[in-house]
Structure 1
Amino acid sequence: MKRPIVWKRLLRRCAALFLATLAVWLLLLCGGASGALRSLGESGGFVATALAAELGKAPEEDGPLSLLDGWDRLAVGQSLLLTGSQGAVAEYLSGTEEDPQLPAGQPAEDHDDMGEEPQVTAAPSDIVARTLIPTSPQGYDVAGGLYLYNRTGESVDLAGAAGAAVNITLPAEGPQILIIHTHATEAYTPDGTDVYTPSDQSRTLEEEDNMLRVGDEMERVFTEMGLRVVHDRTLHDYPQYNQAYTRSAQTVKDYLAQYPSIKIVLDVHRDALVGEDGTVYKAVTRIDGVDTAQVMLVVGHGQNGSNPHWMENLTLACKLQTGMNTLYPTLARPMTFRASSYNQELSTGSLLVEVGTHGNTLQEALAGARLFARAAGQVLLGLAE
């Protein structure tokens, strides 16, 4: 019964190929090879439109042809297949638009022990959503599809880190992963049913609304995948914010001494993104129809070589980033390499995980935490005995 459908699909694709070939021929005829090559390559609009059209989304009245220049519009317009998804492409292109005050993928200032910075907040309707993905290699170390925003003076062999093996084996018994929160009271924008009593701006002591809830979601997914997790619930940033990393360092040391089987330490935070004009941004993408906070992995270098494990931690970050990129291509923001150590000198499997920003909602953050744990869990299962 399905054979006629298969033949129809084959005929449609053959027709699309013929029309696309005809479009290129028309470009060559009307504008020469240089115009055709520019249309297909430089702007990227033609490629994005063609790929999105293959998803078969329903057309909308205002399509992305208005976002393309003359050559792109001519090429796309030759094919009914390529023009059939204009609305979906418009949404895609607008969702990745950069703001001149907020370079794509670049994080907020370092979390450190120098004191708490004032947090700018905004009403949900005033927060600007951005999907933070690199649009060029400028400002990044790039290797094999991985982007690293390097905020240190250290030269990084990103290709070497990405290609190296993770020298970690998760034991068959005992806890394998430690989830902690140096800044456990960090919270998100109150919205909908996720309204909390703040202890400070974008912070709360209510465990159902701060980073402990995000850690719970990661723990749940990891556990369902067969990984063994310890989730520490200490509020290292309350009642005093300063020296939070000093206190969380002692927590990590205590757990590593109690459970030598722990090989992975994830310090889970949320970021904060504020433009030069005070605009509050949230890092969000849409995956499987769900608004999802983007996730950023942070590797600490350590002042004056205080973290001898930074290259090993970076290798782990590359593997987890590749896992996210493979399963959920827009989930991850570029990795970040910062001067502080973030206690990552205590383990060769330590990373800081930023789930969304203070402009995101809790539900967006939970969605990001779930997908991160699924992608990371696949990688970590490959390290198990």
Structure 2
Amino acid sequence: MLRKTKKVISLLCALIFILPTLSYSMDKEEFLKFLIESSYPESSTKDDNSKEEKDKEDKTANKEEDYIKVHIGEENIPTLNSNSNNKENISVASSEYKNDIRITKENPTMLIYHSHSGETYSDSPEGNYHSQNNRDKSVLEVGTLLTEQLSKKGWGIVHSTKYHDYPDFTKSYISSLETVKSMLNNHKSINIAIDLHRDGRDLKTDADIQKEHERMSTTYKGEKVAKFFFVVGMKNPNVDEVKALAEDITKFAQSKYPELVLPIVKRQYGKFNQYMAQNHMLIEIGSNGTSSDEAKASVKYVAEILDEYFKQNR
């Protein structure tokens, strides 16, 4: 009996020392798995432009001043957070996300995704406003809220929370293109796609932050809210349709909430994958000069605009 007791004690002691090591190894393995999965697309790109053209497009897409000036220079490229544990950090319906996807209804008609999934707001400045740690203060959380709001209005939504800007930020649009193609292939009913971002400026001082906050926020009905706008990539083969849609929705938004919507921004250098869906939009809600709460406060207005516009123009 004494011998068996000693064996049990020895086994328990061994487990006490082994389990932390095993746990640590599992964390590393999961991290490596993330890097591998983030580096490979979900579907083929043979029917699109050549890889060289897409690489060129994606690399030049970050050279325009102001729009994403925050990324210019090696010191401003976001770094991968190796201690990230982001799987359970989405506060809106997190249990409904499986493999970074939520589908709210059969035969969904709308896709929401994020080419720059790591974009965060002024209340999460780490990594030059890019992080995987603070999902609740990022465009991903704004996307989950927009998904929830539109779902309550009867829309079937596919929301992807996959990180397309990690581990290689320069290939964000190449990565998100694979997600769009995969979602459209799996859900033929989708005819509306939204690439949801926040605007980005080079904020070096408190004065810069204050100036940007004033530009991209306002007080509406006693609440601080972020402004929003649409971006058009002028290199799209269907640029006339993309531009017409952005202008039409902006006009509709201005008729309802002129204080909240800014004029569309046209980018001569890019496509932003806007040729992929029948109705494809790039929406910027707030910026790195506004807080995540201000961006979330805008979502109910953006959802109302999208809901009413597309129900009227089906």
- Identify the TM-score tier after normalising by the shorter chain: 0.5 to 0.7
- d(CA) in 2 for partners of 1:117 and 1:319? 38
Question: Greater shift after overlay, 375-384 or 270-279?
Answer: 270-279
Which residue of structure 2 aligns with residue 212 of structure 1?
140
- d(CA) in 1 for partners of 2:224 and 2:70? 29
Bigger helix fraction: 2
- d(CA) in 2 for partners of 1:349 and 1:315? 10
- d(CA) in 2 for partners of 1:267 and 1:208? 18
Which residue of structure 1 aligns with residue 308 of structure 2?
378
Q: Residues 180 and 267 of structure 1 are in contact (CA less than 8 Å); yes or no, is this contact kept in structure 2?
A: yes
Deviation at 1:376, TM superposition (A): 1.5
Mapped pair 1:203 → 2:133: no
- d(CA) in 1 for partners of 2:231 and 2:151? 23
Which residue of structure 1 aligns with residue 67 of structure 2?
109
Deviation at 1:220, TM superposition (A): 1.2
Mapped pair 1:324 → 2:282: no
- d(CA) in 2 for partners of 1:113 and 1:261? 35
The aligned length equals: 217
- Name the CA shift for 1:300/1:173 in 2 (closer, same or farther; >3 Å): same
Task: Choose 1 or 2 for highest CA Rg.
Answer: 1
Query: Aligned partner of 1:202: which letter?
Result: Y
Aligned-residue CA RMSD in angstroms?
Answer: 2.8
Deviation at 1:319, TM superposition (A): 2.4
Which residue of structure 1 aligns with residue 37 of structure 2?
none
Deviation at 1:116, TM superposition (A): 6.6
Which residue of structure 2 aligns with residue 181 of structure 1?
114
Deviation at 1:299, TM superposition (A): 0.9
- d(CA) in 1 for partners of 2:74 and 2:311? 37
- Name the CA shift for 1:333/1:215 in 2 (closer, same or farther; >3 Å): same
Deviation at 1:255, TM superposition (A): 0.7
- d(CA) in 2 for partners of 1:329 and 1:197? 29
- d(CA) in 2 for partners of 1:226 and 1:256? 20
Mapped pair 1:365 → 2:292: no
TM-score, L = length of structure 2: 0.63
Query: Aligned partner of 2:249: which letter?
Result: L
Aligned 1:38-49 pairs, distance under 5 A: none
Which residue of structure 1 aligns with residue 233 of structure 2?
300
- Name the CA shift for 1:173/1:323 in 2 (closer, same or farther; >3 Å): farther
- d(CA) in 1 for partners of 2:107 and 2:258? 33
Q: Residues 119 and 129 of structure 2 are in contact (CA less than 8 Å); yes or no, is this contact kept in structure 1?
A: yes
Q: Displaced runs of 4+ in structure 1, greater than 6 A?
A: 111-117, 275-278
Q: Residues 183 and 244 of structure 1 are in contact (CA less than 8 Å); yes or no, is this contact kept in structure 2?
A: yes
- d(CA) in 2 for partners of 1:228 and 1:271? 27
SS at match of 2:135: coil
Mapped pair 1:310 → 2:239: yes
Which residue of structure 2 aligns with residue 133 of structure 1?
none
SS at match of 2:170: coil
- Name the CA shift for 1:234/1:111 in 2 (closer, same or farther; >3 Å): farther
List gaps (5 residues or longer) in structure 2: 1-63, 78-104
User: What's the % identity of the aligned pairs?
Assistant: 28
SS at match of 1:323: helix
Deviation at 1:364, TM superposition (A): 0.4
Q: Residues 299 and 313 of structure 1 are in contact (CA less than 8 Å); yes or no, is this contact kept in structure 2?
A: yes
TM-score, L = length of structure 1: 0.52
Which residue of structure 2 aligns with residue 333 of structure 1?
262
Q: Residues 111 and 192 of structure 2 are in contact (CA less than 8 Å); yes or no, is this contact kept in structure 1?
A: yes
Deviation at 1:218, TM superposition (A): 1.0
Query: Aligned partner of 1:309: which letter?
Result: N
- Name the CA shift for 1:215/1:276 in 2 (closer, same or farther; >3 Å): closer
List gaps (5 residues or longer) in structure 1: 1-105, 120-171, 191-195
Mapped pair 1:255 → 2:213: no
- d(CA) in 2 for partners of 1:308 and 1:197? 37
Which residue of structure 2 aligns with residue 75 of structure 1?
none
Deviations along 1:247-266, one digit per CA (max 9) or x if unpaired, are 00011011111111111111
